[in-house]
Amino acid sequence: MRVRSPHSVGYKLGSDALVFGGQTLTCTDIAVAARLADVGDRSLVKHLNKDLAKRALATVRERISEAVDRMKTDAMPVPLLAVGGGAMLIPKTMPGINEVVHFEHEAVANAVGAAIAQTSGETDRIYRDVSREEAIESAKSAAIAQAIKSGASADMIKVIEVEGLPLSYLPGKALRARVPVVGEAVAR
């Protein structure tokens, strides 16, 4: 058995985790051993020491609590929305969190979010010896082309912002143009 904590096996979970016949101890294995999740083959983690699972869960929960604390804008307790594959590891109460909200199908929330997310493109470059209008049009075209290449529908792209900043510290006529765009993804 390999322990690679705190690194994720990511997309290899289905082949690397113990509960799926792999050789790497994962948080999913700990969750199954602790009866927090029912995936894979529970018999493949029955050998795990209960104290190991308890310590691993305590460490995970401590790290989640620390991460939430670092993101907070003040010391007041905040709610925590538990989503994603690791949501099963989050207990109903945690220090610094006034409410932990679990959802039906919370494990696939990341995949759903990715599936409905917009596709984007952005240009941020310096143009020299062209008019401001030419630089911005070139930046828009490049950002739109990048969004299309990433899967956006050409007729559904919106320009989010146009920024054209003259750069007096560079020789000649220089302008930094930044243009982010977003668009609806096209099924391919």
76-91: per-residue pLDDT in tens? 888 888 888 888 888 8
Determine the Cα–Cα distance for residues 74 and 94; give it in Å rounded to an integer.
17
Does residue 4 register a pLDDT over 70? no
Does residue 113 register a pLDDT over 90? no
- What's the one-letter identity of residue 71? M
DSSP reduced 3-state for 97: strand
Instruction: Summarize pLDDT for 114-162 with one digit per residue, the tens.
Output: 667 788 999 999 999 999 999 999 999 999 999 999 889 999 899 999 9
Structure tokens, 77 = 């307790």
Structure tokens, 127 = 């143009």
Output the CA–CA distances (angstroms, integers) from residue 19 to 22, 47, 49, 168, in the order listed.
7, 11, 15, 61
Structure tokens, 149 = 């290449």
Dihedral over alpha carbons 88, 92, 98, 99 (to 10 degrees): 70
Which residue ranges make up each domain of the chain? 2-111, 118-185
* Phi, psi dihedrals of residue 177, rounded to the nearest 5°: -115, 130
pTM above 0.85, yes or no: no
DSSP reduced 3-state for 50: helix
The average pLDDT across 81-105 equals 86
Q: How confident is residue 188, by pLDDT bands cut at 50, 70 and 90? A: low
Strands 24-25 and 2-3: parallel
Asked whether 61 and 90 are in contact (CB, 8 A), the reply is yes
Stronger pLDDT, 183 or 8, i.e. the higher one: 183
